[in-house]
Amino acid sequence: MLAAPQVYSQKDKQKELEAKRKAILEEIKQINSLLSKTRTQEKSVLSQVEDINTKIAATENLIRVTNQQANLLTRNINSNIDKISTLQEELKVMKEDYAEMVRKSYKSKNQQSRVMFLLSSESFLQAYKRVQYMKQYAAYRKRQGEEINLKTKELQRLNDDLMAQKKEKQKLIDENNVAKNQLLKERQAQQELVATLKKNESTYTAQIRTKQKEADKIDREIDALIRAAIEEANRKAAAAAGSKKTPTAPAASGGFALTAEDKALAASFSSNKGKLPWPVERGMVVKSFGTHRHPQFPNVTTSSSGVEIATEDLAPVRAVFDGTVMSIQKIKGAHITLFIQHGDYITVYSNLETVSVKKGDKVTTKQQIGTVAQSPTAGRTILKFYIYRNNVKINPAEWIYRM
């Protein structure tokens, strides 16, 4: 009785893995597309290594998921082989029983034998029972024939499934071999670039630390702007409450004083955790949130208050949720930075070339708010994206769908 749920569970798992694999293939396609557009531009060796690291991570993920699919198919194939073997044994027994019934029926098929069988009854009740027996025997023989037919069709279906599964597994194995060869090439290219880095390790570590200092300075400025914006919003809220008697929730330490409308918007934002759209339609994360040890220089650590997303030149930037434009600022090294308030949450879009909204505007989910600027030094187009709750930074990858 447990076989059916298990089959559905395996099918669901196979669908889930196939969806993951397609998503990774689309990600790799996107990575290749974005990288090919910057290939002709002058890029530092560090940027090239970062690009290859991104491709290697995606390819390794593809190989891992494809292996999981192949292993699940192997289990399904083995299960089908066992079912086919059991079914063949059952069919063999059923056909032997059916053949015996046919032989017996043939011997007693003439009308005279049936009449004599009935006339030899000792009583009317016995004759009636013999008539019922003959009917039941005929019905049983018919059911046996139908069951043999159904089991034969089931056996054919299992054999067809088995052939399809074997073809699918072979296709996955072939695709995995291609991915492994690609991974080997990428690792060789990575090793060559890393060798170049190691020759001038002190120069490159100095570059990394300089870039980190610049990033930290921008992050501190964004922190200060958010604190100032919260203070300004709270002053306005207090003034509005005094004149209109509008009820507001007391501000948390360093946080917004919220109206009922603000609280509802914040709750709606919070309920969409993990489901928010990307701030750009096409992009890949090239620097994640938090503190990380540099993969090539273990003695160097890098940190990020948000995520850096590589995208296309002048890619449209969109709001990830309904809200109000809280502030638009020019920051040295980050072009234009735009802040959108969602109750006590804030999303920040940094390194914009153009902005298509103004302070105080109401925006909706996926509404275009500007375009991304290109970094002349990195040789690629980067959007820096942050999420805050009040003045506390939180990891965007936990909020954006499949980041």
pTM of the predicted model, to two decimals?
0.69
Same domain (yes/no): 172, 250: no
Percent of all residues in the chain with a pLDDT value above 70, rounded to a whole number: 83
| CATH code: domain of residue 141 | 1.10.287.1490
Same domain (yes/no): 327, 235: yes
Per-residue model confidence (pLDDT) at position 349: 98
State which residues form the domain around 185: 3-199
Does residue 232 belong to any structural domain of this protein? Answer: yes
Same domain (yes/no): 188, 245: no
Residue whose pair of structure tokens reads 């090793």 in the numeric block: 191
- pLDDT bucket at 1, cuts 50 / 70 / 90: very low
Same domain (yes/no): 217, 195: no
Same domain (yes/no): 55, 32: yes
Same domain (yes/no): 217, 339: yes
Over range 158-166, report the average pLDDT. 79
Q: Above 70 in pLDDT, residue 91?
A: yes
Which residue has better confidence, 175 or 357? 357
pLDDT digits (tens, 9 = 90+) for 356-395: 999 999 999 999 999 999 765 556 789 999 999 999 999 9
Per-residue model confidence (pLDDT) at position 374: 78
Over range 330-339, report the average pLDDT. 93
Of 134, 166, 199, the position where a domain reaches its end is: 199
| CATH code: domain of residue 258 | 2.70.70.10
Same domain (yes/no): 27, 129: yes
pLDDT digits (tens, 9 = 90+) for 52-87: 888 888 899 899 989 988 888 888 888 878 887 887
Does residue 326 belong to any structural domain of this protein? Answer: yes
Same domain (yes/no): 286, 326: yes
- pLDDT bucket at 147, cuts 50 / 70 / 90: confident
pLDDT digits (tens, 9 = 90+) for 243-279: 655 555 555 567 898 889 999 999 999 999 999 999 9
- pLDDT bucket at 164, cuts 50 / 70 / 90: confident
> For the chain, what is the domain count?
2
Does residue 229 belong to any structural domain of this protein? Answer: yes
Does residue 336 belong to any structural domain of this protein? Answer: yes
Same domain (yes/no): 240, 327: yes
- pLDDT bucket at 296, cuts 50 / 70 / 90: confident
Per-residue model confidence (pLDDT) at position 237: 79
Same domain (yes/no): 148, 248: no
